[in-house]
């Protein structure tokens, strides 16, 4: 009898084990299927992708610092007009080389551009007409204002304003404001102020911001540089620096709220260099619920330790906090690993891609170790403990001076990484990285094309050059099958990215007022534009149809003042 019972127990155990193995196999197959893939686009794009921005002409502006050494692209003349010759000195002179390029997404080709002053560690924002306003930088570039207005004939180039910023803006942040095509520029190394571009009057100067004095850590390289800026839908500005944050009225030069300190120690801003996003805003709550998220950063003392050759583990924690309403509390959770120098990209699905970075150290030349090769996918609406997924690893280290941006074709463009003050291509642990990659999320695979909305078009209305706030507009697309129960329409403001910052990145879920599918598979939809520029500052946005988690190729739309 005992033998029989033992046999039954053994059979039961084997059955459970077999079932467990089958489930693990199925989970592993599903997990592998959903981890995405990497594509190498260019073996050498000629410059380091320190700064990147997507234009509404489907090109990407990429540039590094002008003093980093000879790039791949020689110039005939220096910026001061003198000729570049084949002498030994000129062949090694950085000013005889282009340090900015325009990358064409469809052709996978590059066009060199000319920068006149050093934009290293600068900031940027798109104006409502699609012009990239680029501010500050290093030494002679620290007070410069530059413009790049993209064009169809690919003949456009950088223009530099004769006007200057009031203060030196090196490691400053900028944000487009809701009114009058104005941009606010905040902070910078040893600059505890903010200012506006353009100025209302010729005698307008900068304004002091005591919050930046309070958050400054002199022994740690600042730890409040590149402060995180997000525009709340109430028209006020969320500013996060080091460990602290405020809600600030830039119109009244007044702090509206002081939020609780984020738990967990360490620091989140440069040179600790975590990252931040404002989670997608939703028409279902009239865009009134605004929640920010901050992930990664460096441990206390990491910057000083790195300069002494000791590399402390980065932070694992992420914090989320609702900045509207009356109750404010950071809700903390841990990433799968320690991370700093990371970029955070909002995907069309509303999920957050955390990519690039290192596991130890701090920002700055040769200050970090152990590249973070695995991207993380974060799903904000999942329950705590089920939000993070580890995606497919890259083989290319993307550490200090790397960037990531979302493209209209659903890919995420990845460039940069230079941990040295010159181009160092060999005989170093982390060489200067000139390769250009794309990370392709799993939902862009061919197998999902039958669920993907295709032939997507946007109709503005006769004679209009954009969509007015609160106005209805029409879109069409084709679906071979009936739409999923969950069809979302997202509008995404493309950011200016550098140093783990995605300035002006913003996503909105728009209201669908009606959706009708014909027998042919053509779907006609009436959408409602955002209600005001405080919800969506004017300019170009990527509009995407997301059918049951499968996004279309995005189309450009422009929101304009009435």
Where are the chain's structural domains? Answer: 121-261, 449-560
Q: H/E/C letters for each residue in 252-284?
A: CCEEEEECCCCCCCCECCECCCCEEEECCEEHH
**Is a pLDDT exceeding 80 seen at residue 266?**
yes
Peptide bond into 303 cis (omega under 30): no
What is the predicted pLDDT for the residue at 20?
38
Per-residue DSSP letter, 348:
T
Instruction: Note the helical H segments in 61-110.
Output: 88-91
Strand partners, 92: none
Cα–Cα dist 345/188, whole Å: 24
The mean pLDDT value for 319-327 works out to: 97
Residue 6 has pLDDT above 60, yes or no: no
The stretch 473-486 carries a mean pLDDT of: 89
Confidence of residue 382 (pLDDT cuts 50, 70, 90): very high
The stretch 213-226 carries a mean pLDDT of 95
Per residue, the 3-state secondary structure of 371-411, as one string, reads ECCCCEEECCCCCCCCCEEECCCCCCCCCCCEEEEECCCCC
How confident is the prediction for the chain on average, in pLDDT? 92
- Give the model's confidence band at 17: pLDDT under 50 very low, under 70 low, under 90 confident, else very high: very low
Q: What is the pLDDT of residues 279-302, one digit of tens each?
A: 999 999 999 999 999 999 999 999
pLDDT at residue 104 tops 90:
yes
Query: Residue 21 above 70 pLDDT?
Result: no
Q: What is the DSSP letter of 345?
A: E
Instruction: State pLDDT tens for residues 420-472.
Output: 988 999 999 999 999 999 999 999 999 999 999 999 999 987 667 899 999 99
pLDDT single digits (tens) 480-491: 888 778 899 999
What is the pLDDT at residue 460?
83
The per-residue pLDDT for 463 is: 64
Q: Which residues of 46-78 are buried (b: 16+ CB within 10 A; e: fewer)?
A: bbbbbbbbbbbbbbbbbbbbbebbbbebebeeb
Q: Is the pLDDT reported for residue 474 higher than 90?
A: yes
HSE-CB at 229 with a 13 A cutoff on CA atoms is 30
Say whether pLDDT at 26 is over 70.
no
pLDDT at 7: 44
Percent of the chain with pLDDT over 90: 84
Going by the DSSP 8-state scheme, the letter that residue 553 receives in this structure is P
Q: pTM, whole model, 2 decimals?
A: 0.93
Fold topology of 449-560: Immunoglobulin-like (2.60.40)
3-state DSSP assignment of residue 16: helix
Give CA–CA dist 183/290, Å, rounded.
21
Q: How far apart are CA 173 and CA 184, in angstroms?
A: 8
Percent of the chain scored above 70 by pLDDT? 94
Tell the residue number behind the tokens 């006007």, with chain if given: 163
26-35, 249-258, 445-454: which range is least confident on average? 26-35
Rounded alpha-carbon distances, angstroms, from residue 480 to 301, 450, 522: 57, 7, 8
Residue 31 has a pLDDT of 43
Least confident segment among 16-25, 360-369, 509-518:
16-25
**3-class DSSP assignment, residue 104:** strand
Q: What is the side-by-side strand order in the sheet with 511-517?
A: 454-459, 472-478, 522-528, 511-517
Question: What pLDDT shows up at residue 316?
Answer: 98
Structure tokens at 394: 């890259």
**Tokens describing residue 93:** 């002179």
What is each CA distance from 521 to 92, 136, 462, 480, 517, in whole angstroms? Answer: 60, 50, 25, 5, 6
Q: Output the pLDDT for position 462.
A: 63
- Mean pLDDT, rounded, for 227-238: 98
Architecture in CATH of 121-261: 6 Propeller (2.120)
219 versus 510: the higher-pLDDT residue is 510
């Amino acid at each position: 009898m005992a033998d029989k019972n033992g046999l039954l127990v053994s059979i039961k155990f084997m059955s459970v084990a077999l079932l467990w193995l089958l489930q693990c196999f199925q989970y592993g197959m599903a997990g592998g299927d959903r981890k995405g893939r990497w594509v190498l686009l260019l073996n050498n794009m000629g410059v380091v992708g320190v700064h990147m921005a997507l234009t509404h002409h489907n090109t990407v502006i990429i540039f590094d610092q002008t003093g980093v050494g000879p790039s791949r692209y020689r110039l005939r003349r220096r910026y001061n007009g003198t000729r570049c010759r084949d002498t030994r000195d000129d062949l090694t002179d950085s000013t005889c080389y282009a340090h900015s390029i325009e990358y064409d997404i469809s052709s996978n080709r590059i066009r060199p551009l000319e920068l006149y002053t050093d934009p290293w560690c600068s900031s940027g924002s798109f104006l409502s007409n699609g012009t990239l306003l680029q501010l500050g930088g290093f030494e002679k570039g620290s007070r410069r204002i530059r413009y790049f207005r993209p064009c169809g004939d690919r003949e456009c180039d950088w223009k530099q304003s004769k006007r200057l910023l009031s203060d030196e803006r090196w490691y400053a942040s900028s944000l487009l404001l809701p009114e009058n095509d104005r941009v606010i520029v905040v902070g910078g190394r040893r600059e505890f102020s903010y200012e506006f571009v353009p100025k209302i009057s010729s005698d307008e100067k900068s304004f002091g911001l005591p919050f930046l004095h309070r958050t400054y850590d002199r022994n740690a390289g600042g730890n409040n540089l590149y402060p995180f800026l997000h525009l709340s839908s109430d028209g006020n500005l969320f500013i996060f620096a080091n460990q602290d944050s405020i809600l600030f009225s830039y119109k009244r030069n007044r702090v509206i709220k002081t939020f609780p300190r984020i738990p967990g120690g360490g620091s989140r801003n440069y040179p600790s260099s975590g990252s931040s996003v404002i989670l997608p805003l939703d028409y279902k709550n009239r865009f009134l619920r605004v929640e920010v998220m901050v992930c990664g950063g460096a441990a206390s003392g990491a910057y000083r330790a790195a300069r002494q050759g000791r590399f402390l583990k980065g932070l694992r924690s992420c914090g989320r906090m609702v900045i509207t309403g009356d109750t404010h509390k950071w809700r903390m959770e841990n990433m799968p690993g320690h991370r700093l120098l990371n970029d955070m990209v909002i995907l069309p699905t509303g999920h957050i891609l955390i990519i690039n970075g290192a596991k130890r150290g701090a920002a700055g030349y040769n200050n970090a170790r152990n590249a973070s090769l695995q991207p993380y996918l974060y799903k904000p609406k999942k329950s705590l403990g089920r939000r993070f997924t580890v995606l497919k690893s890259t083989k290319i280290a993307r550490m200090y001076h790397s960037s990531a941006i979302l493209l209209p074709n659903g890919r995420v463009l990845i460039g940069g990484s230079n941990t040295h003050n010159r181009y160092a291509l060999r005989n170093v642990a982390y060489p200067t990285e000139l390769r250009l990659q794309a990370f392709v999320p799993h939902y862009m695979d061919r197998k999902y094309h039958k669920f993907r909305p295709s032939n997507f078009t946007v109709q503005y209305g006769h004679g209009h050059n954009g969509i007015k706030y609160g106005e209805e507009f029409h879109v069409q697309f084709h679906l071979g099958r009936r739409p999923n129960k969950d069809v979302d329409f997202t509008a995404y403001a493309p950011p200016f990215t550098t140093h783990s910052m995605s300035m002006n990145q913003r996503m909105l879920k728009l209201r669908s007022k009606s959706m009708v599918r014909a027998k042919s598979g053509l779907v006609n939809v009436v959408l409602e534009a955002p209600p005001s520029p405080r919800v969506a500052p004017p300019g170009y946005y990527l509009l995407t149809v997301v059918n049951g988690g499968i996004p279309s190729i995005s189309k450009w739309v422009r929101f304009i003042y009435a």
